[in-house]
Amino acid sequence: MVPDSELGASVQEAIEALKRGEVVCVYDADGREEETDLTIASQFATEEKIRQLRKDGGGLVCTTMTPAIADRFGIPFLVDIYAKAIDDYPILKAMVPNDIPYDAKSSFAVTVNARDTFTGITDIDRANTIASFAKVIEETVGWEQPQSIEKFGSVFRCPGHVHLLVAHEGLTKTRQGHTELCTALVVMAGLVGSATICEMMSDTGKARDKASAESYANERGHVFISGKDIIDAWETWSE
């Protein structure tokens, strides 16, 4: 562990913003997805924040977790679930995602709704599901997997409208997608190891470009940070 002051100015600003429950804009990298995600710490999810992600982002609202959290609940990658079902459903073999141009493996896991939601898709319902996810993570620290699974199942149903993402082991040391970048930020901030993210889309049919996303951040008073800054800080913080 190192002091925030040694992580770089932009990372310090992002960490403090996340601690305040604010949105942070995270750009991955030139030559990768070249996308900016609106990011919040999942524990601070509210109806208003999810509405902002939905309207100002416009991509897919997803909620991340560290590998350790996924292990606690036994949450698998979706591609691994499909691999187990190939013999029963040959179409899954035909659709193996072995040609992602910027990545080796997707981070998608299962989708969930909190059991006390209705349709699950409204801003209120999704905020409830996401905040409940962070709360369950906090409540089950130190629990054995069977008890954690029982608790998880009592709070959530599957499938649902919140897409869970599992960050890869080592976070940005092994994969440098928004799942890992944003999860690394909340971990370095000392928050629950889950971020909620949404890609910024434009009206051109493509992702919002970096300059436009940075202008949006400046207009809204949000921190804008590049993936490289997070990767460098994580390398220092996790030593």
Segment 8-63, tens digit of pLDDT:
899 999 999 999 999 999 999 999 999 999 999 999 999 999 999 999 999 999 99
Confidence at 7, pLDDT banded by 50, 70, 90? confident
Q: What pLDDT sits at residue 50?
A: 98
Q: What pLDDT sits at residue 104?
A: 76
Q: What pLDDT sits at residue 155?
A: 98
Q: What pLDDT sits at residue 3?
A: 60
Taking residues 96-122, report their average pLDDT. Answer: 93
Does 3.90.870.10 match the CATH number of domain 4-77+109-237? yes
**Three-state SS across the chain?**
CCCHHHCCHHHHHHHHHHHCCCCEEEECCCCCCCCEEEEEEHHHCCHHHHHHHHHHHECCCEEEECHHHHHHHCCCCHHHHHHHCCCCCHHHHHCCCCCCCCCCCCCEEEEEEECCCCCCCCHHHHHHHHHHHHHHHHHCCCCCHHHHHHHHHHHEEEEEEEEEEECCCCHHHCCCCHHHHHHHHHHHCCCCCCEEEEEEECCCCCECCHHHHHHHHHHHCCEEEEHHHHHHHHHHHCC
Taking residues 135-153, report their average pLDDT. Answer: 98
- Report the share of the chain in percent with pLDDT over 90: 92
- Report the share of the chain in percent with pLDDT over 70: 98
Q: What confidence tens digit (pLDDT) does each residue in 54-106 have?
A: 999 999 999 999 999 999 999 999 999 999 999 999 999 999 998 988 887 88
Active-site residues: which are they? 37, 62, 102, 113, 161, 199
The rounded mean pLDDT for the chain is 95
- Sketch the domain layout of the chain as residue ranges: 4-77+109-237
Taking residues 218-238, report their average pLDDT. Answer: 96
Q: Which residue has the higher pLDDT, 92 or 6?
A: 92
Q: What pLDDT sits at residue 239?
A: 81
